[in-house]
Amino acid sequence: MPKDPAIISLGPITSFNEVLNLLPNSIPKDLPSPAPDHHFWDHPKQSTNGVHAVTPPPHNLTNGTSGAPTASEVRFRNQAQVTNLNGTRESRLTLDKGNSSHFRVDGSTDGYPFTTGLRHARTAPVDKSHEIPAFGPHTTEADGPQSKAHAKIRSYTDDPTTKEFPRISKPVELLRNEYDCVVIGSGYGGGVAASRMARAGQSVCLLEKGKERWPGEYPSGFVDAVKQLHVSGDFAPGFLTGAMVEAGDPTGLYHLICGKGQNAFVGNGLGGTSLLNANVFLEADDGTMRLPCWPKEIRENGLKELEDYYKRASNVLEPEEYPKDWPELPKLTMLERQAAALGWKEKFKRVPQTTRFKGGPNSTGVEMYPSALTGMDSTGLNDGSKSSTLVNYLADAWNWGAEMFCQCEVRYIKKHPDPKVEGYLVFFAWHGSERSAFKDNLYEDLMWVHARKCVFLGAGSIGTTEILLRSKKLGLTMSNKVGLQMSGNGDILAFGYNTDTEVNAIGRQYPSPYKPVGPTITGVIDCRDQDNALDGFVIEEGAVPKALAPLFQTMLEMMPGNQVPQGEGLVEKVKHVLAQQGSRFLGPYFSKGSIERTQTYLIMSHDSNQASLTLKDDKIVLEFLGVGRSGHVEYLNDVLKRATHAVGGTFVNSPFYAALGQQEITVHPIGGACMSRDGTGEHGVTNHYGEVFTGRGEETHHGLIVTDGAVIPTALGVNPFATITALAERSVEYAAKYRILEEIDLKTKNEVLDLFAEPYQLVGGKKAIQRKNSNKVNDATDLIKATRAAKANGFGFSEVMSGYIHVGKGLEGDKIEDYQTAARTARGLCEEARFFLSVKAWDTHTIVNRADHRAMLTGTFTCAGLKGSPFMVQRGDFHLFSTDQQAPGTRNLTYDFDMTSTEGIEYHFNGYKVVNSSVALGPIRFWTAASTLYVTISETRTGKVRGRGMLHIRPSDFLSEIFTLNPSGKNLWAKVSSTVSFMSFFARQSAALFLAPFTWQQYPSVSYSGYINDTSPDQTIKIVAIDGVQTLLHVWEPRAPGIETKNLFMIPGASVDQQIFALPTIEVNAVNYFTRAGYRVFVTVHRICQLRVAENNWTTYDARLDIKACYEWIRQEHGPDPVYTIAHCMGSVAYSCGLLDGTIPASWVKGISCSQVFCHPIWSTLNMAKVLAGPIPFDKLYAMFGGSWFSCSSTRDDSYFQQLVNQILRFYPDSREEICNNVSCHRSSLVFGRLWNHRNLNQATHRQINRFFGGVNMTLLHTLMQQGYRGTVTCNGPLFTPLTAPSNLRRLKGIPILLFSGSDNKVLTPEATEKTYGILRDTFGPEGYSREVVRGYGHLDCWMGRESYKDVFPMVRSEVDRVCRGEGWRWKEPDWKNDWRDWKNLEMSGGKKEGKKTV
């Protein structure tokens, strides 16, 4: 608000003075008498430094009672004077105190501040009316005192339930493999590069170490600030040797770098240190720019060389001075007063700064807000007024398509390993997803991105220099000057403690609108106009952020070397003591206290530029010994001491200077990759455009350009960011012209940006540049957008697994033992492997409730045996406890992703953890299963397997993994809900496996599932046996054009039907297999199969009649040629009965393959126990309670007895691996023994066992028990006469017979086929007889197993082919993996009754 020109001041006539005037005898005689101020009208004259002259010619023009001047250039002034004891009069600094009396020209008095409560700035408004930029529809002036709410943005949306802020950076999950340009850092240099390259039409990736924060998200209190503090470096106070320190979050907003002699404070975050600086936009002086350390291209032109680039930077950053019609700032007034005391009043001025003092969109279209004058710039402004690069250059880069990624700490750069590929690989550590919990892996397993054309280093002087130093150590050639010629920009921090006037320089999160603090820096004493540029310096006032306020007084009073003012009287001393105690007991914001009377100083000057940065144990060491003990520093400290004493304060050095052995701290580190003064690497690291030299000569790394303060070869003696920005604009212009060969579009303007919408909001509707869609980026982007739009809660964690993977040719097999063998081989060859992956579920509801429980994988994979490590893993698939469709009762944790080598070659990684019933009640087993990953690596394009092995989670890595669990949500409750949901799901799944015997049982389902293979018969025949019993015969025609058709008869066992050979739930069943091999397949469903008639007490001996009837039909329909027969289990027993007793003529039989048994059934140990245990046989015992029929199926509504049986069967004795909760599986095991190894079935088959099994009558069961007990096939009871007499066996002579058993058969022992095999060989000789044991298989899984077509069927078919087609027959199997679908639609190749003919 402008000060009314009619207000006059009568000098220091305060309320206290008026009281003393009532007591004339109490006034000390040595005090000067106040004299009335002299007033006059004047035309203010602008001095060279922007301060109005004080002695213009007087005028006597008035404008009525208001006292307003008749012309805008006329102003009412006063000249305050005092009368000394000797009667002389002298001018003094006008002290316009808040409690001074004021009189109007018309004679009325006003002893109080204005009704708004605000005091006006003492300096009058600008001299005359002038033009300013026209207001747009969004532009607003700040009005009167605003509420405290304006000091902090709560949310950028209208949703009152959530704090929502823009996010212009992207999740690292959306990072592409390569870009045209990669920008490192997001301060002024990085921001310029990102914006300009994006405007040049380049694909841009920006990597920032810190996080993205917007106004409203910055810390303000001490506790919050400490959480954001990262301390590192070599802490070496005074004469001590020092020690390396590392504490806090590396991505924290504040980074304190300890050094020897010199310390530095910088910022991390999207926006870099621009988030924390004091916004002062001052150009370097011409003398400094002409120093001999600059390249001749710059020093010969001096400041003029950067003139256009300063202007370009100014157009974007829009600096302006603190408005003169805004509230008076005591700290600014104090600095002006001190300037006068030092004799430098003409050098005082207000600084141009990039703080906004009006609302509306800035130069790049981002909505800004007027400053709330909090004084919190150095910890982050929450009021939306700070013009950091986040809201200009970076927002512009985002709008032009640049992709920015946070928490990415670049470690080093190297040239692309393929000499045919241009560009650089930028390696970085990703701190997201709490990956820093893995301290050993964070900086070892680095991610990378390929920059095809340019890399711009804008990580700040220290960050850029560190990257270059490490890159040099790792093989990137460059000048030996890297890390040298660094400077702290001559920064000096000090304080004027407990002055005689309120300064109000302690930042407040919510300042009173009637007592604002102001921007951190608003004024400067500019002393750079010196004969020797190195003598120049500036003094600026500052503000202490609220975070330091609680410790500030203690720090100031405890600092050694404090210099109190001399010659104070008793009254002044008492006032000082009272002020100290006031702050101590009433807090730092007590208006009369010592802290509120403390001035903060920041000096920028010139030092010797002899600081250095080196790497020690791969960590930076900053060193600048003696910088704080130089004569120049002592002189500047003396200047500050005099300025402090002039206002009655105590001079206090910074804690680093006073307590740590005269060390300095800088907020403006510069140098380290300096421009060379002679254009070679002999005297610098870069050329005058910032392009890095390859060595000591003139040659540069094309496109490797430094754009930050690291290139500046000398201290600037002023705030450097304006110069850094100008130099960056110059360098980027060079890169566009000579490296990118594109023009930067500086003309197209942005619309007012909606930061929650899509980019490319450009005036004129300019189209977005299309980028290459690599690695499913668009799909991942859509997923993330959808979940964010739905405000879904997410969950994530990171994981490290290590082990051994063997890479080689000819790797075969994918069973567990194959992985184990490969891992042992790799261990011997030192082929170590490891991945460091972050798992992100963008929607916790999805990963918990979807069947595949899917999340996204991002990270790295390294493998010693595979060229191109580290491999980038992007947008991979993770499945948590997904149901393994290939193994019943099994849950898998799968890792499936494509990965890219540093050479650009893509491989596919497939890994899975197997957690099944084997972990039941076994903690160690559970840990082993959940921490073991079976890995296959293949070529992405060809699918060729390149490697196989195993990875494991080490206990220490698992402990770290726990600390990476990271929920996401719009508020605390959402995060808690997400965590509970995810952890509950994990606990339920784990408990279901760990407590498998006690989980809910699985009863038959109503709906069909997993019927993927329709193998319904081509013909079904009703067969009537000689005793009138009706059964079925199913027929399938061959699907093998060009192959002669042969007939194949298949006989299933008891309780099942044709489905065991034509199973619809596996990819390739026996019928598919043999019909593709040219066989017409017949399958009988005899009277002890899954038929209603099976309840009528029929036995295996009776079933031989059905088999004979089928033979008769086949011979009648398809000719009298003998037929090859395959028989399984009790079907084989029934078949042997018919052959042995002559019911079935041997001449009808071409050959036989017997599965599990033929004519000598021998029960397994557990089945034999059922026969022998107890006084009552099992069948009799069951019949007493359950009746004459045992069903393999049951329901929850079954009889109490059957339900009791179901519950008892939970504890059926078997190995851990075979525990399941399927009721039908349990009941089948009870009556027959365990019929399979569960790992050989798939989930769909096991889930629907009830559809493939019927039951057994007690007569049949009794017969089977008798046969197993006797070890031979028999006729029916009660005699159970054996049928294996020698006379009967002779009927088998001349029939080729193959016998095979599963090695893990728990129904009939493999000895059953061994005994028959021995008897046949002993009786007829070895010719025509063979026996096989199928490793890893049990009983019925030989036919129903998901991979039987690979492990069992070829062995049987080979024998069938040998017998039916001759020894020389060779059949080439189809590509079953890719060619098993649509069997039903294949062309039939066998005609009815065609017999031997080829169709």
CB 1258 within 8 A of CB 1178: no
Question: Quick check: 887 and 914 in contact, CB under 8 A?
Answer: yes
Residue 392 pLDDT more than 50? Answer: yes
Residue 244: the pLDDT is 83
Per-residue pLDDT of 1230-1244, as tens digits, reads 999 999 999 899 989
Q: Please report how the helices 631-645 and 330-341 are oriented relative to each other, as an axis angle in degrees rounded to 10.
A: 110
Confidence at residue 627, expressed as pLDDT on a 0 to 100 scale: 60
pLDDT of residue 782: 83
- Cα gap 711→722, rounded to integer Å: 14
What band does 243 get if pLDDT is binned at 50, 70 and 90? confident
* pLDDT computed for residue 1398 by the predictor: 26
Residue 149 binned pLDDT confidence (cut-offs 50, 70, 90): low
Angle in degrees, CA 710, 715, 720, rounded to 5:
70
Q: Which two tokens stand for residue 263?
A: 């310390």
Q: Which residue has the higher pLDDT, 1276 or 94?
A: 1276
Q: Looking at 142-146, 424-428, 1060-1064, 1192-1196, which range is the least confident one?
A: 142-146
Kindly report, residue by residue over 1044-1089, the tens digit of the pLDDT. 999 999 999 999 999 999 999 999 999 999 999 999 999 999 999 9
Note the pLDDT of residue 565: 62
Cite the DSSP H helix spans in 612-745. Answer: 631-645, 655-659, 721-735
pLDDT at 858 over 80: yes
pLDDT at 763: 84
Sign of CA pseudo-dihedral 552, 555, 558, 563: negative
Q: Give the pLDDT band of residue 160 (cuts 50, 70, 90).
A: low
Residue 628 has pLDDT above 70, yes or no: no
Which range has the worst mean pLDDT, 614-618, 655-659, 710-714, 1379-1383? 655-659
Distances (CA, A) of 1240 to 245, 811, 1154, 1196: 57, 22, 20, 28
- SS3 state of residue 778: helix
Q: What integer best gives the mean pLDDT of the chain?
A: 84
Least confident window among 112-121, 845-854, 1386-1395? 112-121
Element holding 369 (H helix, E strand): none
Which of 594-598, 891-895, 1019-1023, 1082-1086 has the least mean pLDDT? Answer: 594-598
The pLDDT tens digits for 255-270 are 988 888 788 889 999 9
pLDDT score, position 974: 87
How confident is the model at residue 640, as a pLDDT?
92
Please write the tens of the pLDDT for every residue from 173-208: 999 999 999 999 999 999 999 999 999 999 999 999
Residue with more model confidence, 89 or 480: 480
Confidence label for 238 from pLDDT (cuts 50, 70 and 90): low
pLDDT category of residue 31 using cuts at 50, 70 and 90? very low
Residue 1278: cis peptide before it, omega within 30 degrees of 0: yes
Does the pLDDT value for residue 888 go beyond 50?
Answer: yes
Length of the chain (residues) = 1399
pLDDT at 8 over 70: no
Question: Which residues are 413's β-sheet partners?
Answer: 426
The pLDDT of residue 764: 77
Highest mean pLDDT among 140-149, 502-511, 885-894: 502-511
419 pLDDT more than 70: yes
The mean pLDDT value for 1288-1311 works out to: 95
Range from 152-156, 501-505, 1058-1062 carrying the lowest mean pLDDT: 152-156
For residue 159, CA distances in Å to 269, 760, 976, 1211, 1290 come to: 26, 26, 20, 56, 91
Residue 195 half-sphere exposure toward CB, CA atoms < 13 A:
30
Is residue 34 predicted with pLDDT exceeding 60? no
pLDDT value at residue 49: 37
Element (H, E) at 102: strand 102-104
Virtual torsion, Cα 866, 453, 400, 720, nearest 10 deg: 110
CA-to-CA distance for 159 and 181, rounded, in angstroms? 38
Confidence grade of residue 161 (pLDDT, cut at 50, 70, 90): low
- Region of poorest pLDDT, from 120-134, 611-625, 698-712, 984-998: 120-134
Q: How far apart are CA 523 and CA 336, in angstroms?
A: 8
pLDDT (tens digit, 9 = 90+) per residue, 1006-1051?
888 889 999 999 999 999 999 999 999 999 999 999 999 999 999 9
1258 phi/psi in degrees, rounded to 5: -70, -25
Tell me: the pLDDT tens digits for 365-385? 999 999 989 898 888 898 889
Band the pLDDT of 220: cuts 50, 70, 90: confident
Q: Does the pLDDT value for residue 1155 go beyond 90?
A: yes
What whole-number distance in Å separates Cα of residue 96 and Cα of residue 117?
Answer: 16
Q: How far apart are CA 604 and CA 715, in angstroms?
A: 9
Q: What percent of the chain has pLDDT over 70?
A: 85
Q: What is the DSSP letter of 770?
A: P
Q: What is the pLDDT of residues 900-937, one digit of tens each?
A: 999 989 999 999 998 888 888 889 999 999 999 999 99
- pLDDT of 562 > 90? The answer is no
List pLDDT tens digits, range 956-989. Answer: 999 999 999 999 888 888 889 989 999 998 888 8
Instruction: Quote the pLDDT of residue 35.
Output: 39
Assess whether pLDDT exceeds 90 at residue 500.
no
First-to-last alpha carbon distance for the chain, in angstroms, is 104
Q: Contact 262/627 with Cβ under 8 angstroms?
A: yes
Angle separating helix axes 570-586 and 549-558, nearest 10 degrees: 140
pLDDT of residue 781: 83
- The answer to whether the beta carbons of residues 909 and 861 sit under 8 Å apart is yes
Amino acid found at 1337: Y
Q: What is the pLDDT of residue 907?
A: 94
Measure the CA–CA gap between 145 and 1293, rounded to whole angstroms. 113
CB-CB contact of 1254 with 1090 (8 Å): yes
Of 154-168, 226-240, 1105-1119, 1336-1350, the least confident: 154-168
Least confident piece of the model among 56-70, 178-192, 513-527: 56-70
Q: What is the pLDDT of residues 99-122, one digit of tens each?
A: 333 333 333 333 333 333 333 333
Instruction: Report which DSSP code applies to 904.
Output: S
Instruction: Indicate whether 707 pLDDT > 90.
Output: yes
Q: What is the pLDDT of residues 530-543, one digit of tens each?
A: 989 999 999 999 99
Token representation of residue 209: 């170490």
User: What does the pLDDT read at residue 234?
Assistant: 84
Helix (H) or strand (E) holding 468: helix 460-473
Q: What average pLDDT does the segment 306-324 reach?
A: 93
Bridge partners, residue 42, by sequence:
75
Show the tokens assigned to 29: 């005689």
What is the band of 79 on the pLDDT scale with cuts at 50, 70, 90? very low
The pLDDT of residue 26:
41
